[in-house]
């Protein structure tokens, strides 16, 4: 049934996608499990990545994602019609991931550091010249190293903004903080990152 | 500098390789449909089980207070997760239950797997609490006095998963009522005690307390308990508006 209202794989939040969410939410609220599966397909990638940033382990993140979607299904009744679904969902996902992480060691933070440091090995520079390419690569390497040294909270806020490209509202959901404090947390994290970069340069 | 750093971070973000996203749509779909089915299936088993439990308590307790036959009593008190027993003296109880910290309705909803039901007759609650006990969690909706209406508290929990004990003194009466066709119990008169029992049936003493007039009823998976100095018909009307 969900196939009628759009490609489930599309994760963008343009107006059409939001409209499709509204339809799926309404159907799921009336007990349509297929419609809910459609919502899961549309949002599981961002949900999984938010969970992964918090727990730092793919299998734990998968568990958290699945649990969060089941909880969200039963919470749909309290969901206000017409409100954006994604921030609401991400808050449930992040809460679930944080609860699971309490049972883990510090593995989460270590894994995120590894993700940033090891997997960002080949920045795409597009049409830039070879020289610019080398300079950019060097800068990226420095940013990666500095990110690895940041506190977990700072790294998470930066990852949510620049890696997952979450909106302010979605960041508040994922970080579990009021929307009004997102900007200041992000700017403090950037400031610390910048200081680290400048410190190394000097 | 900020722009340069930010664009470097965006670029870096595009290079970060997250683990492949697992497809959880099938297991989630199965779990939400299985749970609905299993609740339906269990409810058919649990109704007679609860009835047997209550009957046993009454037979070993003070059957004299109940003029009807044992089977009729069992039938009459068949509410999920609720045991009602009449006692000669009330145990020590605290006057109020510590409900912990108030949270928003949305937060409460996230902590339980059942849809929270709201009484349309009362509107939005003034304060919402969440309690870990009993198993599955309990949502407490509190309504401040409004005009003629006294302070009211509505408790919601999954009756199929827990036991709620009520000890009645001889001065407390129990009456069967109908709430939208579902069986309910109206308990009034002298104060009675309310406590939850754990998985082994042991009363949790910290939850023992005195209660005012109470209407107990079932709605889908939930057992609901409305408490306050209300007349019976008013309580039933509020219960009937709860969905």
pLDDT digits (tens, 9 = 90+) for A7-33: 333 333 344 455 678 888 988 888 888
Instruction: List the single residue in B28, B33, B105 with the smallest CB-CB distance to A69.
Output: B28
**Shortest Cα–Cα distance, B169 to chain A (Å):** 38
Q: Does B11 touch chain A (CB under 8 A)?
A: yes
10 Å CB burial of residue B147 (0-12, 13-18, 19+) is: exposed
pLDDT at A131: 56
Query: Two tokens at A116?
Result: 């940033």
pLDDT at B240: 93
Average pLDDT over residues A32-47: 91
**Contact state of B32 with A34 under an 8 Å Cβ cutoff:** no
**Contact state of A163 with B27 under an 8 Å Cβ cutoff:** no
- Mutating which of A29, A159, A163 best tests the B interface, going by the most B Cβ atoms within 10 A? A163
Show the low-confidence residues of chain B (pLDDT under 70).
Answer: 1-2, 34-101, 133-135, 159-173, 189-212
Residue A175 has pLDDT above 50, yes or no: yes
Q: Which of A4-8, A119-123, A142-146, B37-41 has the lowest mean pLDDT?
A: A4-8
Instruction: List the single residue in B1, B15, B110 with the smallest CB-CB distance to A92.
Output: B110
Q: How many helices (H) and strands (E) does chain B have?
A: 5, 12
pLDDT at A161: 93
Residue with the bigger pLDDT between A49 and A132: it is A49
Record the pTM.
0.49
Q: How confident is the model at residue A69 (pLDDT cuts 50, 70, 90)?
A: very high
**Shortest Cα–Cα distance, A15 to chain B (Å):** 23
Residue with the bigger pLDDT between A1 and B13: it is B13
User: Count of CB contacts below 8 A, A vs B?
Assistant: 128
What ipTM is given for this predicted complex? 0.77
Contacts of B22 in chain A (CB under 8 A): 44, 48, 58, 62, 65
Length of chain B: 243
CA distances from A90 to A53, B103, B109, B137 (A): 12, 19, 15, 22
**Spatial distance between the Cα atoms of B89 and B87, rounded to a whole number of angstroms:** 6
pLDDT at A89: 95
Instruction: List the single residue in A52, A66, A123 with the smallest CB-CB distance to B27.
Output: A66
Residue in chain A nearest B16 by alpha carbon: A120
Q: For chain B, how are helix, strand and coil distributed in percent, rounded to 5?
A: 35, 30, 35
Bridge partners of B169, per DSSP, are none
Average pLDDT, chain A: 76
- Residues A91-118 have pLDDT tens digits of 999 998 988 876 554 444 444 544 544 4
Residue A143 has pLDDT above 80, yes or no: yes
- Residues B133-162 have pLDDT tens digits of 666 778 888 888 888 888 888 888 876 544
**Spatial distance between the Cα atoms of B152 and B221, rounded to a whole number of angstroms:** 22
**Contact state of B9 with A95 under an 8 Å Cβ cutoff:** no
Contacts of B2 in chain A (CB under 8 A): 190, 194
Among A48-52, A80-84, A106-110, B227-231, the range with the most confident prediction by mean pLDDT is A48-52
pLDDT at B147: 84
Spell A68-83 as b/e; 16+ CB within 10 A means b: bbbbbbbbbebbeeee
Report the percent of chain A where pLDDT is more than 90.
34
Phi, psi of B139 (to 5 degrees): -100, 135
Contacts of A190 in chain B (CB under 8 A): 2, 5-6
């Amino acid at each position: 049934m969900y196939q009628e209202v759009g490609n489930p794989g599309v994760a963008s939040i343009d107006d059409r996608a939001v409209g499709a969410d509204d339809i799926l939410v309404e159907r799921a609220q009336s007990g349509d499990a297929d419609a809910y599966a459609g919502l899961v397909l549309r949002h599981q990638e961002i949900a999984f990545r938010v969970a992964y940033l918090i727990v730092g382990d793919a299998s734990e993140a998968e568990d958290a994602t699945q649990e969060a979607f089941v909880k969200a299904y039963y919470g749909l009744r309290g969901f206000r019609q017409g409100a954006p679904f994604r921030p609401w969902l991400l808050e449930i996902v992040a809460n679930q991931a944080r609860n699971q992480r309490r049972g883990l060691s510090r593995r989460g933070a270590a894994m995120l550091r590894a993700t940033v440091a090891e997997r960002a090995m080949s920045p795409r520079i597009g049409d830039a010249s070879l020289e610019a390419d080398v300079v950019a690569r060097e800068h990226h390497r420095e940013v990666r190293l500095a990110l690895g040294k940041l506190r977990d909270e700072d790294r998470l806020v930066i990852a949510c903004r620049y890696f997952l490209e979450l909106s302010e509202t979605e960041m508040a959901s994922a970080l579990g903080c009021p929307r009004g404090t997102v900007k200041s947390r992000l700017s403090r994290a950037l400031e610390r990152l910048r200081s680290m970069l400048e410190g190394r340069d000097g | 500098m900020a722009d340069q750093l930010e664009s470097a971070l965006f670029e870096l973000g595009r290079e970060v390789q997250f683990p492949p996203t697992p497809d959880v749509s099938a297991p989630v779909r199965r779990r939400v449909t299985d749970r609905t089915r299993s609740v339906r299936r269990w409810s058919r088993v649990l109704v007679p089980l609860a009835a047997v439990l209550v009957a046993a308590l009454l037979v070993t307790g003070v059957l004299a207070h109940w003029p009807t036959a044992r089977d009729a009593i069992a039938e009459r008190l068949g509410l999920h997760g609720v045991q009602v027993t009449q006692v000669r003296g009330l145990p020590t109880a605290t006057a109020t239950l510590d409900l912990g910290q108030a949270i928003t309705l949305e937060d409460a909803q996230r902590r339980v797997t059942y849809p929270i039901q709201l009484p349309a007759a009362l509107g939005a609650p003034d304060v919402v609490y969440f309690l870990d006990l009993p198993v599955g969690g309990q949502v407490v909706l509190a309504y401040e006095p409004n005009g003629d209406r006294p302070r009211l508290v509505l408790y919601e929990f999954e009756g199929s998963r827990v036991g709620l004990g009520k000890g009645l003194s001889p001065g407390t009466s129990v009456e069967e009522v109908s709430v939208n066709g579902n069986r309910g119990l109206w308990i009034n008169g002298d104060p009675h005690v309310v406590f939850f029992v754990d998985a082994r049936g042991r009363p949790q003493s910290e939850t023992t307390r005195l209660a005012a007039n109470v209407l107990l009823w079932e709605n889908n998976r939930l057992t609901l308990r409305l408490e306050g100095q209300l007349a019976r018909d008013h309580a039933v009307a509020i219960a009937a508006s709860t969905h």
